């Protein structure tokens, strides 16, 4: 009987009963994922459209160059500073430049290098120079070479006797002044000098003597009549002419003149301080007498993130800020203005410009300290 009871008990237990039974797990549908992807896609689209709109524009930045001892005659002398076109098609848009500069006063234009870029197409540069000369025919346009521009002075055999590269000669024919020596500009009865900055670190008399000796040595063996030798000889003669003209310009400078240095790559603070320390305090042509240095090269950092500034600058690092990259900076007694530029450089691993509106600058000298 007991066995039957137990067996009956076992046989009657067909399934288990639990006081607490887990609910079936609910599976989330694809809605949340789709929403997140849609938001991300919208952000990307808005960013691309916003960046495209910024790159279609061109800003005109106005800055004051404050000089406490500035002669009143230089008050409001204004330089239009343009840099780093890199052969961009913006140089071809004459209407955009006329609109941007409409009603603006400026006394000189400086193009501080990489206006052609590695592509070698100088058509946008030539078009820009012609447009600037149409806007203000009597205003000089100074241009220097940048590190991405084709070599300006050719010392190798290239099929013609011209020493200057095609892009330099085309710029000159359009009305620009290729700045490889100090050039004076009269402002009433006073003078402004636009000077290639590197000349301040050159022993000009020593260089003149060295180049003269090299020229005589080449002539002694008739190298000027050879193919390759002739190209080298012509380039050397050109450099000798430039350094001789520089020596003559330095003799013509007075202590009342304004000296503006023009370079492509911005000067580093340590270099400026060293140059000031080594400069002859009593000399008229002296780094100590530089009032302003104009530079470009960094294209404003190329890729930027709002108030964080440039994302990455080669040789400087990540999120280094704007100091030494773009805008006005003061190093000891010297002001340096670094243009944000127009185009984009291969100097960066990131192509194009991101949240970085192309810009040019109007720099006005003043003795007023606000």
| Structure confidence by residue, pLDDT tens digits, 250-271 | 999 999 999 999 999 999 999 9
Task: Judge whether 234 lies within some domain.
Answer: no
Least confident of 3-12, 72-81, 203-212, 251-260: 3-12
Nearest-Å Rg of the Cα atoms of the chain is: 32
Please check the confidence at residue 48 and state whether its pLDDT lies above 90. Answer: no
Q: Are 340 and 299 in contact (CB under 8 A)?
A: yes
Please check the confidence at residue 42 and state whether its pLDDT lies above 90. Answer: no
Number of domains present in the structure of the chain: 1
Please check the confidence at residue 85 and state whether its pLDDT lies above 90. Answer: yes
Q: Are 132 and 109 in contact (CB under 8 A)?
A: yes
Task: Judge whether 6 lies within some domain.
Answer: no
What is the rounded CA–CA span in Å between residue 355 and residue 51? 5
Least confident of 25-34, 144-153, 336-345: 25-34
The phi and psi torsions of 30 (rounded to 5 degrees) equal: -75, 0
The phi and psi torsions of 22 (rounded to 5 degrees) equal: -65, 140
Segment 180-186 shows an average pLDDT of 97
The phi and psi torsions of 234 (rounded to 5 degrees) equal: -65, -40
Task: Judge whether 27 lies within some domain.
Answer: no
**Structure tokens that stand for 249 in this block:** 């310009």
The size of the chain, in residues, is: 370
Q: What is the pLDDT of residue 28?
A: 55
Q: What is the pLDDT of residue 60?
A: 97
Greater confidence (359 vs 26) lies with 359
Q: What is the pLDDT of residue 31?
A: 79
Range of the domain at 270: 60-153+168-201+241-366
CA separation (Å) from 275 to 96, 141, 249, 326? 40, 28, 21, 22
CA separation (Å) from 104 to 60, 107, 136, 362? 10, 10, 10, 9
What is the rounded CA–CA span in Å between residue 330 and residue 214? 40
- Residue pLDDT, tens place only, 161-173: 899 999 999 999 9
Shortest CA distance to 90 belongs to which of 118, 57, 117? 57
- Residue pLDDT, tens place only, 292-317: 999 999 999 999 998 899 999 999 99
Greater confidence (52 vs 66) lies with 66
Q: Are 334 and 345 in contact (CB under 8 A)?
A: no
Task: Judge whether 289 lies within some domain.
Answer: yes
pTM of the model: 0.86
Strand partners for 80 = 109, 362
Q: Tell the burial category of 212 from Cβ atoms under 10 Å away from its Cβ (0-12, 13-18, 19+).
A: middle
- Hey, how many other C-beta atoms are within 10 angstroms of the C-beta on 129? 24
The phi and psi torsions of 172 (rounded to 5 degrees) equal: -65, -45
CA separation (Å) from 136 to 76, 257, 294? 17, 24, 21
Task: Judge whether 224 lies within some domain.
Answer: no
Task: Judge whether 69 lies within some domain.
Answer: yes
Task: Judge whether 30 lies within some domain.
Answer: no
- Percent above pLDDT 90 for the chain: 76
- Residue pLDDT, tens place only, 101-130: 999 999 999 999 999 999 899 999 999 999
Alpha helical stretches, state H, the chain: 2-12, 31-56, 94-101, 123-135, 166-174, 204-220, 227-252, 269-278
Task: Judge whether 86 lies within some domain.
Answer: yes
Q: Are 339 and 364 in contact (CB under 8 A)?
A: no
When pLDDT is cut at 50, 70 and 90, the band that residue 19 belongs to is very low
CA separation (Å) from 151 to 113, 120, 154, 164? 12, 10, 7, 9
CATH code of 143's domain: 3.60.21
């Amino acid at each position: 009987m007991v066995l039957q009871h137990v067996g009956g008990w076992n046989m009657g237990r067909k399934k288990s009963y639990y006081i607490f039974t887990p609910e079936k797990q609910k599976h989330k549908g694809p809605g949340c994922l789709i929403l997140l992807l849609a938001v991300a896609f919208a952000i990307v689209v808005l960013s691309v459209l916003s960046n495209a709109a910024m790159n279609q524009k061109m800003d005109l930045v106005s800055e004051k160059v404050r000089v406490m001892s500035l002669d009143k005659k230089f008050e409001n002398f204004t330089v239009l500073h343009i840099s780093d076109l890199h052969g961009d098609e913006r140089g071809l848009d004459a209407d955009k430049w006329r609109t941007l500069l409409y009603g603006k006063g400026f006394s000189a234009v400086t193009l501080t290098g990489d206006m052609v870029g590695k592509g070698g197409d100088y058509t946008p540069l030539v078009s820009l120079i012609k447009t600037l000369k149409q806007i203000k025919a009597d205003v000089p346009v100074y241009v220097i070479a940048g590190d991405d521009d084709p070599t300006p002075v050719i010392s190798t055999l290239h099929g013609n006797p011209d020493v200057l590269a095609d892009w330099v000669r085309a710029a000159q024919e359009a009305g620009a002044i290729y700045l490889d020596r100090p050039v004076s500009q009269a402002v009433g009865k006073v003078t402004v000098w636009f000077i290639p900055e590197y000349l301040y670190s050159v022993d000009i008399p020593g260089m003149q003597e060295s180049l003269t000796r090299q020229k005589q040595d080449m002539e002694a063996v008739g190298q000027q009549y050879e193919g390759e030798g002739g190209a080298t000889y012509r380039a050397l003669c050109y450099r000798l002419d430039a350094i001789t003209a520089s020596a003559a310009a330095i003799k013509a400078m007075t202590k009342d003149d304004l000296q503006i240095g023009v370079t492509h790559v911005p000067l580093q603070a340590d270099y400026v301080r060293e140059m000031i320390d080594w400069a002859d305090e009593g000399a008229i042509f002296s780094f100590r007498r530089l009032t302003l240095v104009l530079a470009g090269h960094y294209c404003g950092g190329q890729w930027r993130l709002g108030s964080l500034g440039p994302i990455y600058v080669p040789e400087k690092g990540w999120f280094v800020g704007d100091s030494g990259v773009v805008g006005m900076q003061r190093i000891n007694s010297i002001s340096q203005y670094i243009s944000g530029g127009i185009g984009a450089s291969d100097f960066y691993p990131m192509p194009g410009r991101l949240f970085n509106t192309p810009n040019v600058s109007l720099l006005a000298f003043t003795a007023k300290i606000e």
